[in-house]
Structures are given as C-alpha cells and as structure tokens.
C-alpha cells in the first residue's frame, strides 16, 4: 500500500507519529507530518490505525 500525506491538511496533532513511528514523524519547524516510508505492507495495522486516527484526514492509503 502507498501512504499519502497531505501536509496542507495536516493539523500537527502527531497521532501518526505516536501510532506508527517507523512510518511517520513530525517536522521540527512546523509540527506537520513527515513520511519516513511511503510504502506499507498490506497487513500493517499500525499504519491503518494512524490513518484512521488522523483528526484532519491528511493521511490516506492507496
């Protein structure tokens, strides 16, 4: 699965970095999402949970 992060929609809540730190981080300057890996295994439940928990809807899986 491909991970898509829309930094324009990101609110900087950090749920993604807390839930799946091997895939997401936050920019030190503005707190917005940074993708550490843009691919995830189909069975990666942490990434799917991070997408579901994102309060601004900035994350998607394709």
Q: Are 61 and 3 in contact (CB under 8 A)?
A: yes
Half-sphere exposure of 47 (CA within 13 A, CB side): 22
pLDDT for the residue numbered 62: 93
pLDDT for the residue numbered 42: 80
Structural domain range at position 51: 3-57
pLDDT digit string, tens, across residues 15-57: 999 999 999 999 999 999 999 999 988 878 999 999 999 999 9
Q: Are 23 and 35 in contact (CB under 8 A)?
A: yes
Residue 59 — pLDDT band, cuts 50, 70, 90?
very high
CATH code for position 14: 3.30.70.20
Instruction: Supply angle C-alpha 8, 22, 37, rounded to 5.
Output: 55
User: Is 40 a domain residue?
Assistant: yes
User: Is 62 a domain residue?
Assistant: no
What is the total count of domains within the chain?
1
* CA–CA gap between residue 14 and residue 22 (Å, rounded): 13
User: Is 17 a domain residue?
Assistant: yes
């Amino acid at each position: 699965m491909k991970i898509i992060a829309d930094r324009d929609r990101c609110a900087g809540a950090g749920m993604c970095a807390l839930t799946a730190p091997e895939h997401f981080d936050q920019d030190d300057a503005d707190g917005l999402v940074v993708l550490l890996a843009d691919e995830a295994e189909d069975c990666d439940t942490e990434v799917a949970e991070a997408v579901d928990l994102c309060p601004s809807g900035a994350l998607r899986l394709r």
